[in-house]
Structure 1
Amino acid sequence: MTKSNYSLGIDIGSTTVKIAILDINNQMIFSDYERHFANIQGTLADLLTRANSALGNLTVAPVITGSGGLAISKHLNVPFVQEVVAVATSLKDYAPQTDVAIELGGEDAKIIYFTNGIEQRMNGICAGGTGSFIDQMATLLKTDAAGLNDYAKNYQAIYPIAARCGVFAKSDIQPLINEGATKPDLAASIFQAVVNQTISGLACGKPIRGNVAFLGGPLHFLSELKNAFVRTLNLTKEQTIAPEHSHLFAAVGSAMNYNSLLTTSLQTLVDHLTTGISLDFEVNRMDSLFDNEEAYEMFLHRHNTHTVKKGDLSTYQGNCYLGIDAGSTTTKVALVGEDGSLLYSFYSNNNGSPLKTTIKAIKEIYTLLPENANIVRSCST
């Protein structure tokens, strides 16, 4: 088999695929990073195609790592290395002074202690306090992770928010939104919640001391998240290690664990991914809700017989009653006549501001309300 002077590290995480190609001196000559949206095979093929276009059809010694990498390594017949080994290898080369590494991924969170041997702490089945949690919270504020980071740069106050679960966090954030908390303060509070979850949930009382390296996509791309860790751990500038390619460290480390005799070409890998293997798995599926079209039509008929009586607001005269339901993500408004008929309804995403959304609905009601119709009572829930 041909010996290669180039190694290829592939890190397949829960939400992203990263690749790094190193030369014989462990210098990175190509890297790429992309979300896979559950299409690992296609995303990896795209990344390797880009590498092939940039470097030519190199002969490489590939190694795969990451939480989603084991199955594809078997299909491609490519060596697999455990992620903590890959990270430890790259840190030993690029930042040997590291005492503790904190790594956040899409759904993984890790703390690795390097003093007196290697000890890894990792989250379990819950993705609270990871990149996907940050994405979910950003959506709640009608932005993305980068927008959340920009907001956090201008915070004034930190609010206590749970990061163990996205549902719990929403329960904390929604009342703050309703009370008018600013997006910069909410963004910074979300990052602080991630810090608290990582330290309390993984360190479990074991001190995080000395030189601390921050790794993984969220800590690489979100400067304010890293700053929240630095602030909480009271780290000096000298103790804070933020490598240039910190989001690629597992890929780099896996490349450094290569076997120079186990080689293949970039194009061969692409060919296997696009035509040679299939990662589809048959899953058990639930029975359909309706056996046939007739059953579906019967369902519609049965449910359509129970509808709210509606009235015409434009011709209504008399007293009206206003009901407002301000939910966690949506605002619902109903205007009801004295006979219980529904005169007006409103349903909309609150876009992170239920008060503004409600005011919008009420203004619309008053533009439609006839002269002899009056809102005499209102209630919110």
Structure 2
Amino acid sequence: MIVGIDVGSTTCKYVLVDDNGNILDKAYERHNTHTAEKVLEFLIRLEEKYHLSPGKDRVYFTGSGASFIHTLVGGRFLQEVVAVSTAVEKLHPDVRFVSEIGGEDMKAVFIREIDGRRTKQVVMQNACAGGTGTFIEKTARKLGIPPEKLMYMGYKGYSIHRVSSKCGIFAEADVNTLIKAGVPVEEVMASLFDAVVYQNLTQLTKGNTPYPKVLLLGGPNLFFRGLREAWMVHLQRLWKERGVGDFSDQEMEELVVVPENSLYYASLGCVLTAMEEEGGVYQGTEKLRWWVEEGQYQQKLKEGKGGLVRSPKELESFLKKYSSSFSRVTPKKVDKIVVGCDFGSTSAKAVCLSEEGQVVYTCYTLSKGNPIEDARSIFGQIRAFMGDVQVLALGVTGYGKDLMGSVLGADVTVVETVAHATAGLHFFPDADCICDVGGVDVKILILRNGSVVDFRLNSQCSSGNGAFLQGVAERFQIPLEEVADRAFSAKAVPSFSMGCGVFLQSDIVNQQRKGWKAEEILAGLCAVLPLNVWVYAGNINNLAQVGRKFILQGGTHRNLAVVKAQVDFITSRVPDAEVYLHPFPGEAGALGVALLALEYYRRGNKSNFRGFPLLEKLNYRATTDSRTVCRWCPIHCQRTFIDVDVGYGEGREWSQVPLEKGWIRLIVGNACPKGLVEDERELAVIKERLRRVQNEFPNVAHFVKKEAFRYRKEKQGVG
């Protein structure tokens, strides 16, 4: 018998055939970073069920995680592109282009026939998450889409929005923008399918034309209906533009094929290669067992470094100090409250204060991809617990502050840096630095005498933020509440390089190949997070100049393994540093804006909050199409018009997207203030407002410069 085993970045596959090439068994399973353990499990299964025999049967390996494992069982290694190409050539002689999309890589094979000879040109991309299956799954999880629904989500018939296809990190930022703009999740996923296909066609084809017949391989192409539809549409358009042919939809179904065994083509390539050559005689599992039980741990100690804690006593001392830092709020019903809301990129949070400033209730919801729905969930939770309570004041911060501030009737809307500074200084008025690590950004606020004198913000790279850690944990199927315990259990951790999140993803794959387990990888990522936060994102190399009293807040710091890494990093550079964990790390933004709203109320102001009933019955619609594209400059931002029925709006009957009276329009997705207006009349109003602001708040430096040069010219004239 012959076994072909494909050890991929996220899954392991095998195909077992007899002497005649008949498939006896096959399997496709996630390995959750335990690649050696999964291969051992496969071989034991085949020995017990099919009597796979050492010295008699043969085994061939391929895949990113097999380059070392194959030596332990006597198998022969075959490069995965060669394996896939071999299977395609044998099974589909009429195919001219192959695209295989995996969990963390993508491959393209051009097959040409010149003078009766078939030639192959192979291109592979495994350095970036953009265009791969893992990125699709990660985005779906972010939007709360279950796998069984994701499989059937479509592409045709939906409005497509611009999503960066060159870099997975930029694509994630674009998806966040669409979510904040209230774009329906169906359109977000259709846009993502579009970006993945576009990335494959531009990055891998290098300008060459993929001629029919086309073969689509890999799990994403097999499982995601929308991705297959996007391939059909893009190839149909491409072939028409380049004169290959003007094919009907029915013809495209024949020319673009997803075979039944598309998951196993690398394994089949191994088997087909083994049938034509000698070697790869199976030597049994003894060495592989030793590696799993002892060898890999010894190797890890040589290559990596010690865990996050050196002893149980050290862990106990740390947990005793910092686990008690979290404030456990006992929900309390009161008649009047002040509410602070933080509409973030991954979740929405709310903090309710009593008139005396006591925290009486907190709640949160994972973002549903629409800030209005997030607000309904938050205020629904508040009303369910508090009843018809009176809201004395409402404050809003976060990515969705502008949109939700208008819809809810917020009294205070502030940027996140102000909200987080207020929350930190409330508990630690003499703080020198507040470090907030959120879902998709990092904020470092440097303070002097209770005022912010400098701040660093990084929201363009996932390196060092909570969403990156969360995404890795989800990929390993580890619940967020277990990440810290699992990370603390690691006795050795791999070394990761500081920097770009994409390169970190590549590092993770490389460490998996070496046998590092999920908990060890997570511990390593926690260990490198401070470098990414302070040096890479914050560009602060000398922490001693920042001060000595550091406050850690933001939802990522609810993970005590991250806190341990932060404390060790800060104290290694500032030995006398005091490092504190905010009592409400995840809700700090909401708490800060709630405190500002409380000040607004105490100054005698009345709240503009529109009330719970209006929010529950709120009628709105979002429009993103060719009519909403901004035409003020060549960038042509793809804006979204969110129209809300509040009962008092003037309407916009003149608009290309007409708006009836009683409604207000919120425009999002614009890159500059001009994008907030639809025509010249509104633009004139904006310009007038800007002139008025400039007159009220003149640029003093410009004024001094002008006066100084005027005086000099006058003197020269006199001379």
Q: State the TM-score bracket (shorter-chain normalisation).
A: 0.7 to 0.9
Match of 1:109, as an amino acid?
Answer: M
Q: Contact 1:104 / 1:215 at 8 angstroms: preserved in 2?
A: yes
Match of 2:318 among 296, 321, 340: 296
CA distance in 2, matches of 1:85, 1:101: 12
| Distance change >3 Å, CA 346–CA 120, structure 1 → 2 | same
| Distance change >3 Å, CA 147–CA 166, structure 1 → 2 | farther
Task: Give the CA deviation at 1:103.
Answer: 0.7
| Distance change >3 Å, CA 221–CA 269, structure 1 → 2 | farther
Match of 1:100 among 92, 97, 100: 97
Match of 1:195 among 186, 194, 197: 197
| Distance change >3 Å, CA 28–CA 369, structure 1 → 2 | closer
> What is residue 333 of structure 1 aligned with on the other side?
350
Q: Contact 1:104 / 1:217 at 8 angstroms: preserved in 2?
A: yes
Deviations 1:255-296 (A, max 9, x none): 12227653646xx63454335764443142367479946963
Match of 1:269, as an amino acid?
Answer: G
CA distance in 2, matches of 1:53, 1:139: 38
Query: What are the residue-to-residue correspondences of 1:275-290 with 2, within 5 Å?
Result: 275=290, 278-280=295-297, 281-282=299-300, 283-285=303-305, 288=308
| Distance change >3 Å, CA 375–CA 269, structure 1 → 2 | farther
> What is residue 209 of structure 1 aligned with on the other side?
211
Query: What are the residue-to-residue correspondences of 1:309-324 with 2, within 5 Å?
Result: 314-315=333-334, 320-324=337-341
Q: Contact 2:17 / 2:271 at 8 angstroms: preserved in 1?
A: yes
RMSD: 3.3
Task: Give the CA deviation at 1:101.
Answer: 0.8
CA distance in 1, matches of 2:202, 2:389: 61
Q: Contact 2:61 / 2:70 at 8 angstroms: preserved in 1?
A: yes
CA distance in 2, matches of 1:276, 1:206: 45
Deviations 1:338-368 (A, max 9, x none): 6544343223323545433422332343455
**Once structures 1 and 2 are overlaid, which stretch shifts more, 255-264 or 223-232?**
255-264
> What is residue 359 of structure 2 aligned with on the other side?
342
Q: Contact 2:155 / 2:193 at 8 angstroms: preserved in 1?
A: no
Q: Contact 2:130 / 2:171 at 8 angstroms: preserved in 1?
A: no
Match of 1:208, as an amino acid?
Answer: P
CA distance in 2, matches of 1:37, 1:297: 28
CA distance in 1, matches of 2:46, 2:34: 19
Query: What are the residue-to-residue correspondences of 1:174-185 with 2, within 5 Å?
Result: 174-185=176-187
Match of 2:62, as an amino acid?
Answer: T
| Distance change >3 Å, CA 62–CA 246, structure 1 → 2 | same
Match of 1:274 among 280, 286, 289: 289
**Once structures 1 and 2 are overlaid, which stretch shifts more, 274-283 or 143-152?**
274-283
Q: Which runs of 5+ in 1 are unaligned?
A: 1-5
> TM-score under structure 1 normalisation?
0.83
CA distance in 2, matches of 1:287, 1:60: 41
Match of 1:28 among 23, 29, 33: 23
> What is residue 262 of structure 1 aligned with on the other side?
279
Higher relative contact order (Cα pairs below 8 Å, separated by 6+ residues): 1
- Secondary structure at the aligned position of 2:19 is classed as coil
Match of 1:248 among 264, 288, 297: 264
Match of 1:51, as an amino acid?
Answer: L
CA distance in 1, matches of 2:258, 2:85: 15
Report the structure, 1 or 2, having the larger helix content: 2
Percent sequence identity over matched residues? 26
CA distance in 2, matches of 1:13, 1:148: 22
Task: Give the CA deviation at 1:243.
Answer: 2.4
| Distance change >3 Å, CA 60–CA 221, structure 1 → 2 | farther
Match of 2:318, as an amino acid?
Answer: Y
- Secondary structure at the aligned position of 2:65 is classed as coil
Task: Give the CA deviation at 1:369.
Answer: 5.2
**Once structures 1 and 2 are overlaid, which stretch shifts more, 221-230 or 333-342?**
333-342
| Distance change >3 Å, CA 261–CA 362, structure 1 → 2 | closer
> What is residue 83 of structure 1 aligned with on the other side?
80
> What is residue 68 of structure 1 aligned with on the other side?
65
Task: Give the CA deviation at 1:86.
Answer: 1.2
CA distance in 2, matches of 1:293, 1:20: 46
CA distance in 1, matches of 2:48, 2:157: 44
Task: Give the CA deviation at 1:377.
Answer: 4.0
> What is residue 253 of structure 2 aligned with on the other side?
237
Task: Give the CA deviation at 1:100.
Answer: 1.2
Q: Contact 1:149 / 1:225 at 8 angstroms: preserved in 2?
A: no
Task: Give the CA deviation at 1:251.
Answer: 0.6
Match of 2:288, as an amino acid?
Answer: L
**Once structures 1 and 2 are overlaid, which stretch shifts more, 103-112 or 283-292?**
283-292
CA distance in 2, matches of 1:242, 1:372: 57
Q: Which has the larger radius of gyration?
A: 2
Q: Which runs of 5+ in 2 are unaligned?
A: 240-251, 399-719
> TM-score under structure 2 normalisation?
0.46
Q: Contact 2:341 / 2:351 at 8 angstroms: preserved in 1?
A: yes
